[in-house]
Amino acid sequence: MRSTPRTLLAAALVLGVTAGAAALPAAASTPAPAAPGASAPSADVSAPPSWSETVRGLEAALAGVPAADATAALVRVGGTEGVWHGSSGVHDLKSNRPADPGARFRAGSVTKVFTAAVALQLAGEGRLDLDRSARSYLPELIPVSYENVTVRQLLDHTHGIPAADFPGNTVEEWYANRFEIHDPEATVRSATSKKPEFAPGEKQHYLNIGYTIAGLLIERVTGDSYEDQVARRILRPLGLRDTYLPGTNPHIAGRHNHGYQRMTLDDGTVGLRDVSVWGTTDGWAAGDIISTTADLERFTRALFAGRVVRGPLLEEMFTLPRVRDVKTGAPAAYSVGLSMKKLGGREVWGKTGGRWGYNAAIASTRNGSRTLVHSVNSTDAKGQDTSKVALDIMVATYGRPSAS
């Protein structure tokens, strides 16, 4: 099937959000005012958008929410080039109240950035060796068939361990099993019982399993829980009071905008179901964190400024392995914790995440001149295509993909 320009752009941005048709109420947005003299986005796709172009693009992106593919959107852009905050959409489809800009949301795989940061801190303390095998730390869990997989390879997705098996192949089946509790050790055994996808270090395949093992490594070398280590090392020092790891609790604590997923309903029709309450133990150290745009912006600034991971180890997060993606054959796009794309002629580093009903992203230029955090309540947040809202936010902030 022929790829559309939007599909190609979505793939280039490595975003995991998608569209779906549904009848939704009119938009209720609260973006900041446009800068005087704002103009249409530049036709030069190789150049980053000016600040006025960015503001105009962000306002346009949020103006259409709620839409078929998103019920709410929260955005914070910062850095030395300018500051802009905006929100649009609804808190929920019953009341149609405006979306809460300070609401908590599921940030999905943004969790991996926190996990990687803790692992790198432990490496800096000499408690975790990135070049040592994972099996040497977890000999009872990692079989001999994966004895050469190193800690670094777990973190940069070059380990070759396949995905674990989980019940369900459709969103409806996943929804039916949404309260099932998954044990991380059982998840690892499910994955490592299979044959390797490739020899360690030969290719890259972005999967959760490496970070599930990393969470267990953190627990092994510290004698503490993964959750406590993230809180002690990152959340409390940075004052991230609205960020937490939910464990087995399927609810989002405190203020949150409802998430919706397009699926087959009980009466056989296709429509939107409220999926705000959903367990995340299948993700754990790879994808269960709950946060706010303000907290993630503070975390992003601190991370890129070298206040979370210090010294030479920070460069692990900005170094791509010299291998190719196992599926596409393209050069590796994921480092330890982050990913990189060239947008508007410059490198943009960050991480996207998706849980049913919620998509999130953090991003920044390497020098922190322009940062982005967004939460988009996508109606098919784990689908194959990209939500137009999330795509427009990214393009407005950084520009379109550049030639490598």
- Weakly modelled stretches of the chain, pLDDT under 70: 1-46, 384, 403-404
Beta carbons of 280 and 260 less than 8 angstroms apart: no
How crowded is the C-beta side of 283, counted as CA atoms within 13 Å?
A: 27
Structural domain contains residue 236: yes
Structural domain contains residue 403: no
User: Across the strands, what pairs with 278?
Assistant: none
Structural domain contains residue 404: no
Beta carbons of 120 and 314 less than 8 angstroms apart: yes
Structural domain contains residue 324: yes
Nearest alpha carbon to residue 71 among 110, 48, 105 = 105
Taking the C-alpha atoms of residue 148 and residue 160, their distance in angstroms, rounded to an integer, is 10
Structural domain contains residue 235: yes
Domain extent for 33: 5-398
Termini Cα distance of the chain: 25
Taking the C-alpha atoms of residue 109 and residue 85, their distance in angstroms, rounded to an integer, is 23
pLDDT, one tens digit per residue, over 87-114 is 999 999 999 999 999 999 999 999 999 9
Q: Residue 47: what pLDDT?
A: 86
Structural domain contains residue 118: yes
Nearest alpha carbon to residue 113 among 293, 334, 323, 326 = 334
Structural domain contains residue 293: yes
Q: Residue 293: what pLDDT?
A: 98
Structural domain contains residue 202: yes
- Give the CATH number of the domain where residue 41 resides: 3.40.710.10
Domain tally, the chain: 1
